[in-house]
A and B are shown apart, each in its own frame.
Chain A
Amino acid sequence: MHELALMEEVRRIAMAAAAAEGAQRIHSVKLTVGRLSGVDPGALAFAFEVVMADGISQGATLDLEVVPTVCQCGGCGQRFEPVDVIHACPRCGELSSELLAGRELEVTGLEVS
């Protein structure tokens, strides 16, 4: 349940961005989360409710964007989205690959007024 610690950081980032904008309310927060980032969407939603419950973020909604894992094969250079936890290249079968996307944990948008 490290989602709570991460969500505290989301609140800190959102409050700072809202203050810089002179906003009075935070209506929604967009989070971009990679499939390999090790967070659970249900736990994130729960943590969001808890952390955003008071102040200018009260009633804010969570907009969660889950981005797929993208690998680049270490053998043939093919880019692919792995179908399971074993990131085998669909072209040459090589297992070793570089992760191009999938570990994201970012605040990517904020709706304020």
Chain B
Amino acid sequence: MRSLKLRLAVGLGASLLVLLGLQYVLVNGAIRGTAEHYLADGLSHRAETLIGALEWEADGAELEVPDAAYRRPYSGHYYRVEAGDATFRSRSLWEAELPLPELEIGEHRQWRTAGPQGQQLLVRAVAVQARGEPVRVAVAEDLSPLYAEVRDFQWRYALIAVGVAAALLALQWGLLAVGLRPLERLREQVAALGRGERRELDSDVPAEVRPLVAELNRLVRVLEDRLQRSRRATGNLAHALKTPLTRLFQLAEDPEMPPTVAARLREPAQQIRERVDRELKRAQLAGGSPAQRFDPGREVPALIRVLERTYAEQAPAIAYDGPPPGQACGEREDLVELLGNLLDNACKWARSRVAVHVAIEGEGLALTIADDGPGVPAEQRAALTERGGRMDEQVAGDGLGLAIVNDLVAAYGGSLRFATADLGGLAVHVALPARTTGASDGEDDA
């Protein structure tokens, strides 16, 4: 049984049913016992009355009983009295016999026996000494009416018990649902954490799960700290590498440097630069941690302003079509990097127009960046994402952008597709799925 709720419900329900069953048995036993006890008391009293009603004459005893119940045949009330030599039977016995065992004086006995017409009799027999004579009396009463009433009670009691059990079970189920609601909320929050919609779990939870929540929050913070640290570390590494690399570039371009040496210097410097750039971008992938969210309605226009300034000479018209500000999806730095590279590439090649289309699809993202440039023939598109794929000496830049885009899309498990744009140039379609698990950290290939 994997569900906590089901497990609790079954346990609680079973114990409730056992309890109610036990109570039913005990109550019924007690009722029946009490009723029989009451009847036995009555019988003992009747026996005494019978003894008291004996009238002693010289030639023996006489018994006159006024009670009509002893006269009506098979009324359920019977007696047999033996006083000295005389024996008296109630008329109600009619043709039946009420056995009277041999008892010592002072002894009494009580038992059940089958009576006439299927009656169940409770019999009480006593033996006493009266006027020097032994007197033995047996009185009997039919138990059937009592049993009928007890059965009637049992039925009603069972009905009530079943009703109470059903109501209690429903109440338990409800209480469980209410009691377990914090867990359900926690589950939803953990899912939101995975999607990057929250940065931590609410700590306003019941005491039982508070340590768990505190630990989870701690782990999330540790993860975030570690990510921050590793980002800072790679940033510092890049800084440390890029500054001497800048000197190498300057050296390679120094007019006082012999051209042959400069040329030989330039190539490895460029290779180091590409490698550093690419590894840096890969290391900076957020790896699924809940960081700042990407809000295309805010970020894309900001990026467009950046590109309009960067390409102020060519002044391409960049059109944005996408959700308004306030809708967020995915990790900001990664997606800004992705879009920045794609837009940069498009602006590099556009004649005058670039179009950006962004759509949030559930938790996923669909992007299209199109330009009105010369485009890329279908057979050459596969090479686009290789390092320096769209290399062209006439256009500034090093063709690294699309390779970085490719790494980013791969890390997100998304797809990258090239097509001919309606504008005439290249259209890049990117589809990024919802990100529930962390992206691979981009160390899968070298």
Q: Do chains A and B stick together as partners?
A: no
Using a CB–CB cutoff of 8 Å, the interface residues on chain A facing chain B are none
